[in-house]
Amino acid sequence: MSKAWTIHPNPILAQAEALMYGLGAGWLYRVHQDLHQGLQLPKLPADQVQATYPLSPLVKALDPQQEYSRAARLYRELLAGRDTVTPELYGDLVDAVTSKWAAEGRLKDNIQKRAAATYMLGVLESGRVSTAPASGLLDRPEDFLEGQEVRPIRFAQAKAGEYITSLSQRTRTQVKQVLYQHELSHGSPLELAQRLNDQFRVLNRDWRRIALTETSNNRAQGFLGSIPAGEQVEFSAALDCCDRCQAYHKTVWTVVSPEATDRDPDRHVWVGKTWQDGGAAISMHPHCRCRWMPVLRVRGDMRQDIEKRALDLLAAARNP
């Protein structure tokens, strides 16, 4: 199993990654299941489906005998009495199931809430514990935080919203291509089931990469945003990190305001700094699990009140 599928050694961060990953993976699985049933494809065994959605607890065998969802049933009705399937019918089915599950899962709202929670984990790691109610803070950060503190959360949420929108668009496009190609070449139903499964595996793997990288990135921004300009932070490379990150391990950087005109990428870090700016940044690359640590402060992950607060935030983000 590739590195992307290893579970984070820190249980709280493992939960944070699962929070971001689980939303997209759960959505993909529901769309996949609806398509499988709507097209009445033969049964795919649970282990094949599980391999498509590693670490997802909700996966079962894909079985055409299960009760149809509404979208799948409508599709069967649409097909009744036709002897050929047009590309438009396939396209309609894909559009129907993807938008149905995006709406029912309130996909964009949910990923934005989860992105805010991962950002707040970084704030906690700086040692700052807010007493605001966790769910209120995630829903309406502007009611509890200063404008300057809300701004980077809004950007983290906007990015996450774009990523999940893009997942849903890519799913539509790529699944339609699989269906068109299959119909054109008159493949067997089992071949189609397997091709769809392969396509969803690629979509889910890509989503996993985004979920991990954004979790790390949001935490890093939340952390840096909570450290006053002038204080120092240390780059702490993840245990399984790449050589580039390892070279920065234990190096010390000074936090500056993102508006500072004299910021120097070889000595300074700031909210929103990326590896393209030069010097250290987190995340350095996809799947980067490195982190910033306080140099002078008590380390956030050693305090029980911080751990409890982190778990509260994750729970509030998980249960809309």
| Among 12-20, 97-105, 242-250, 310-318, the segment contacting Zn ion (CB under 5 A) | 242-250
| Among 6-14, 93-101, 171-179, 283-291, the segment contacting Zn ion (CB under 5 A) | 283-291
- Comparison of 35 and 284: residue with beta carbon closer to Zn ion: 284
CB of 208 to Zn ion, least distance (A): 16
Distance CA 236, CA 251 (A): 8
CB of 235 to Zn ion, least distance (A): 9
Q: Residues in the chain, how many?
A: 320
Q: What is the DSSP letter of 297?
A: S
Q: Is 230 helix (H, G, I), strand (E, B) or coil?
A: coil
Helix boundaries (H) for 186-300: 189-225, 243-248
CB 213 within 8 A of CB 282: no
Distance CA 226, CA 152 (A): 11
- Comparison of 178 and 241: residue with beta carbon closer to Zn ion: 241
Tell me: does residue 281 bind Zn ion (CB under 5 A).
Answer: no
- Comparison of 83 and 243: residue with beta carbon closer to Zn ion: 243
- Residue from 203, 245, 280, 281 touching Zn ion (CB under 5 A): that is 245
Q: What amino acid occupies position 227?
A: I
Q: List the one residue out of 237, 231, 199 whose CA is nearest residue 53.
A: 199
| Among 17-25, 109-117, 126-134, 237-245, the segment contacting Zn ion (CB under 5 A) | 237-245
Q: List the one residue out of 88, 128, 116 whose CA is nearest residue 224.
A: 128
- Comparison of 33 and 213: residue with beta carbon closer to Zn ion: 213
The angle at the Cα of 109, spanning 306 to 30, to the nearest 5 degrees, equals 105
- Residue from 290, 306, 314, 316 touching Zn ion (CB under 5 A): that is 290
Cα 230 versus chain centre, distance: 32
Distance CA 265, CA 270 (A): 9
CB of 282 to Zn ion, least distance (A): 7
Tell me: does residue 227 bind Zn ion (CB under 5 A).
Answer: no
Distance CA 255, CA 281 (A): 11
Tell me: does residue 71 bind Zn ion (CB under 5 A).
Answer: no
Tell me: does residue 220 bind Zn ion (CB under 5 A).
Answer: no
- Residue from 19, 210, 212, 241 touching Zn ion (CB under 5 A): that is 241
CB of 244 to Zn ion, least distance (A): 7
Q: What is the DSSP letter of 83?
A: S
CB 238 within 8 A of CB 245: yes
- Comparison of 150 and 242: residue with beta carbon closer to Zn ion: 242
Tell me: does residue 212 bind Zn ion (CB under 5 A).
Answer: no
Using CB atoms within 10 A of its CB, is residue 176 exposed (0-12), middle (13-18) or buried (19+)? middle
Tell me: does residue 288 bind Zn ion (CB under 5 A).
Answer: yes
| Among 94-102, 193-201, 255-263, 288-296, the segment contacting Zn ion (CB under 5 A) | 288-296
CB of 233 to Zn ion, least distance (A): 15
Tell me: does residue 284 bind Zn ion (CB under 5 A).
Answer: yes
Distance CA 58, CA 172 (A): 22
CB of 5 to Zn ion, least distance (A): 17
Tell me: does residue 117 bind Zn ion (CB under 5 A).
Answer: no
Neighbouring-strand partners of residue 269 = 255
Size of the residue set binding Zn ion (CB under 5 A): 5
State the residues that interact with Zn ion by CB under 5 A: 241, 245, 284, 288, 290
